[in-house]
Amino acid sequence: MTMNGEVLLGPERRRRFTDEEKLRILEETTRPGMSVSLVARRHQIHASVLFRWRARFLDKPQAAEPVLLPVQVASEPTPPPSPARPVRPGRRGGIIEIELGSGQRLRVGHDVDADALRRVLGVLEGR
């Protein structure tokens, strides 16, 4: 099997491609039936080289011109919304109803702080 190619003589061991040549070779990879591997073999370069070129020229978005947007300064900052209390996994929402000996009823959410509830119950029961 013979391989067509170029012989590199002297200290230069790498072939140098211009940006135009790189883009032309990359364009070949987009043709129907072509792949990076096929194009790389055809040009006798490693496929990883084509992937580097692709990252440099094609995959990165081109920098756009800066855009100035209108800004309005409010007289007073608005407070950020308070974060919602997270619901623990496996627990359902709901109301707990407690009927006291005096006939009073107390309703609390399922996620009420146990220590706070004890204090409230102590006050209501007159302790």
* Per-residue pLDDT tens over the stretch 65-124: 777 777 777 666 666 666 655 555 555 567 777 777 777 777 888 788 888 888 888 877
Please report whether residue 39 resides in a domain.
yes
The answer to the question of residue 64 being in a domain is no
Q: 26 or 124: whose pLDDT is higher?
A: 26
The dihedrals phi and psi of 98, each to the nearest 5 degrees, come to -120, 125
pTM of the model: 0.39
Q: Is residue 53 part of a domain?
A: yes
Q: Is residue 32 part of a domain?
A: yes
Residue at 66 is within a domain: no
Q: Are 64 and 70 in contact (CB under 8 A)?
A: no
Number of Cβ within 10 Å of residue 23's Cβ equals 13
In order of 63, 67, 73, 77, the CA distances from 70 in angstroms are 21, 10, 10, 18
The span from the CA of 15 to the CA of 25, in Å, is 14
Domain closes at, from 7, 40, 59: 59
Which helix (H) or strand (E) covers residue 49, if one does? helix 47-54
Quick one: pLDDT at residue 88? 57
Tens-digit pLDDT profile for residues 36-55: 999 999 999 999 999 898 88
Give the residue from 13, 25, 34 showing the smallest Cα distance to 53. Answer: 25
Segment among 12-21, 26-35, 65-74, 107-116 with least mean pLDDT: 65-74
Which of residues 33, 59, 85 is at a domain's end? Answer: 59
Determine the pLDDT at residue 2: 46
Inside any domain, residue 115: yes
Q: What average pLDDT does this structure show over 5-25? A: 75
Domain coverage including residue 35? 19-59
- Number of domains present in the structure of the chain: 2
* Domain boundary pick from 10, 33, 59: 59
Asked if residue 14 belongs to a domain, the reply is no
